Amino acid sequence: MASTDFVNDSALDRDDDDFDPMVGDEDAGLPDGRYLDREISWLAFNQRVLELAEDPTTPPLERTNFLAIFASNLDEFFMVRVAGLRRRIMTGIAVPTNVGRSPNDVLDEISERAHELQKRHAAVWHDDVEPQLAAAGITIVRWDSLDASDHEYLTQYFADQIFPVLMPLAVDPAHPFPYISGLSLNLSVRVRNTRTGRQEFARIKVPQMLPRFVRVDHRESVNSVRYIPLEDLISQHLGDLFAGMEVIDHHVFRVTRNEDIEIEEDESENLIQALERELLRRRFGPPIRLEVTDDMDEQTLDLLVRELDITDQEVYRLPGPLDLGGLFEIASMPRPDLKYPRRVPNTALDFRPPEPNGKADLFAAISRRDVLVHHPYESFATSVQEFLEQAAADPNVLAIKQTLYRTSGDSPIVEALIDAAEAGKQVLALVEIKARFDEQNNIEWARKLERAGVHVVYGLVGLKTHCKLALVIRHEDGKLRHYSHIGTGNYNPKTSRVYEDLGLFTTNDDVGKDLTRLFNELSGYAIEKKFNRLLVAPLHLRKGLLKLIDKERSNAEAGKPSGIRIKVNSIVDEAIIDALYRASQAGVPVDIWVRGICGLKPGVPGLSETIRVRSIVGRYLEHSRIFAFENDGDHVVYIGSADMMHRNLDRRVEVLVSLADERHLTEIDEMLDLAMDNGTSSWWLEPDGTWTRHATDDAGAPLRDLQDALMAKVSKRKRPRSRR
């Protein structure tokens, strides 16, 4: 799992904490203080990730992976959310947060909780996971614990692979304090000039292109491996870097900066060029966190605090090693005995070839009936990827239109679009180059697509295009037919192995025409007022969901069957939350399955007594969005890309599609039943905002793991026997 994968799309938008309820007078009768603080709720989400690392039943290398995820998540939180709060205070526009608190108050609580969480994070590594790995033959060693043979080997490795790329920077009247780049690991070094006796300060940046942990591998067996932190190896050879000087002391530190991007879009300016300038500027944002090893002396710390111009509140003293995000390298070791059992996704039933070694015709399968795929339980490669590759190779396919928000660096999806364009097909790719922290990657792919003849567009001015859409136009029997795919996740083969997502394939004419009109709107000047099977943000989605929620309220008041079940990454939008409160007050049962932030308070007497909120954090990143309504017994279910946040509803192009096949409605119902069942392991949200983990029953036996249960269920699916 990549460094930001576990939080992607969940929470970290720059402007979402603007208090903008957009509910007019409809909030009359609802009490003040009815929302939870979004920043604190996000920290609670990352705490749930940490609790998986703290869980002794989690396999050792998976615990290591969750420690790395926690660290990288927190880095991004500081770079975006904390930086945004700081910027508001500095610019004098410190408007209240979503719960009416001042940014200063929120920063104080963030600091308190972040300090506590980082200490827990370091403690579980040092006291629990690191010893557990050592017992399994994976040891993080220190220089002093190695023998002469190891020293000789590592000294040679340092001379050959590390020393040539190091750049010690002196700090004195002729050399000002150097710029410390964000998220870089650094050594502060104090040396004494042996001729003058004067003490000097220097900084060494630990090269980010080198392995974070150096393998001491000159005499290990397969199951006995030792690593030394790169900064520890460098620190043992400071004499080579400061020849003729006496090395007095050294310490490790790390700076987090505001690395968010602000783009003023101007139709007269090339968006890619503007973004490239901002990417360069990103590296020079102001410092917002300083992590130092707990043995750093006060003289060095005072110098860093003064030169970086930060407060004591922004200093985090931690036991080394810092930057435990580097544990991704350790977690990726080929030790299956220390990881979750290996799982191979199944090919969706409708896409399985008729013969064992044959190849399925996906167009024929989709033309027979709608197909709903569930990743990673069902294969992305044999569904979405195969769909686009067959479209690229099929002479009857005339056009392919697709959105690309995030994709992998060696994406077969992009290659399929290039192949299609080179084969003479009309190909449109809507590339969202402002996808956070994937901007540079998306710029490179956009240019590669353009060179191949793909029509590349960048969406609508002022809006990110976040929807996950693919439309294939195929010539069949003298007519044109639409083959549509609408998903909840990115067209990214790598993340599809760890992201839980849904995707609908259909030849439904209403869906195809909806997508055709929507792509025309995104690439041209069309403005659509209405769609048949889609709810599209920013014009229609909020209104559509509020209407569906209010209908459940009316049904409950009329004594008709009612119910709302929602699965999202985050829910903070005040208008949606207030609508759910009013539905609850009318007696509508409301179940919310949320991965990350939740601004809603469940179980409050007179306000939300019928609302339950659960969270599941596990092996796979729960990423699909589902909106299900009882609708007086005639179930309505939508899936798509939108979370219940201001950005998704008001500042992004998002799409939800309604499911029509009864099989799919049943599948969604059963999954939601399983997730909300008291026998399933999950976290429960309490009215005061605390999350309580329910992982064992009263007898101490582990509760059902939802993801294991779904994998087992999908693996047992069999194609029904054909009638003769």
Active site members: 466
Instruction: Name 418's Cβ contacts closer than 8 Å, sequence gap at least 6.
Output: 448, 449, 452, 454
Give the Cα separation of 618 and 52 in Å (integer): 8
* 289 and 81 Cβ atoms separated by less than 8 Å: no
List C-alpha distances in Å: 498 to 272, 494, 656, 683. Answer: 30, 8, 22, 20
Distance CA 376, CA 615 (A): 19
What 3-state class would DSSP assign to 583? Answer: helix
447 three-state secondary structure: helix
How far is Cα 83 from Cα 255, in angstroms, rounded to an integer?
13
b (16+ CB within 10 A) / e for 412-441: bbbbbbbbbbeeebebbbbbbbbbbbbbeb
Residues whose CB falls within 8 Å of the CB of residue 110, separated by 6 or more in sequence, listed in order: 39, 40, 43, 82, 85
CA distances from 297 to 198, 248, 292, 345, 391 (A): 18, 12, 10, 52, 63
Which of 230, 52, 240, 216 has its CA nearest to residue 146? 216
- Enclosing H/E stretch for 16: none
**Helices of type H across 242-316:** 271-282, 298-308
Torsions phi, psi for 353 (to 5 deg): -65, 150
- Sign for the CA dihedral angle at 221, 226, 230, 233 comes to negative
**What span, in angstroms and rounded, lies between the C-alpha atoms of 603 and 51?**
24
Q: Is 57 exposed, middle or buried (0-12, 13-18, 19+ CB in 10 A)?
A: exposed
What secondary structure letter does DSSP report for 26? Answer: G
Task: Assess contact for 6 and 69: CB atoms under 8 A.
Answer: yes
Q: Residues in the chain, how many? A: 724
- 3-class secondary structure, 343: coil
CA R_g for the chain: 27
Residues 6+ apart with CB under 8 A from 552: 562, 563, 564, 583, 588, 629, 630, 631
Please give the full DSSP string across 50-116, using - where no structure is assigned: HHHHH-TTS-HHHHHHHHHHHHHHHHHHIIIIIHHHHHHHHHT-----TTS--HHHHHHHHHHHHHH
Q: How far is CA 720 from CA 369, 504, 505, 667, in A?
A: 15, 21, 20, 17
Q: Are strands 315-318 and 499-506 parallel, antiparallel or unpaired?
A: unpaired
Per DSSP, the three-state class of 723 is coil
Residue 648 near residue 466, CB atoms below 8 Å: yes
Q: Are 237 and 155 in contact (CB under 8 A)?
A: yes
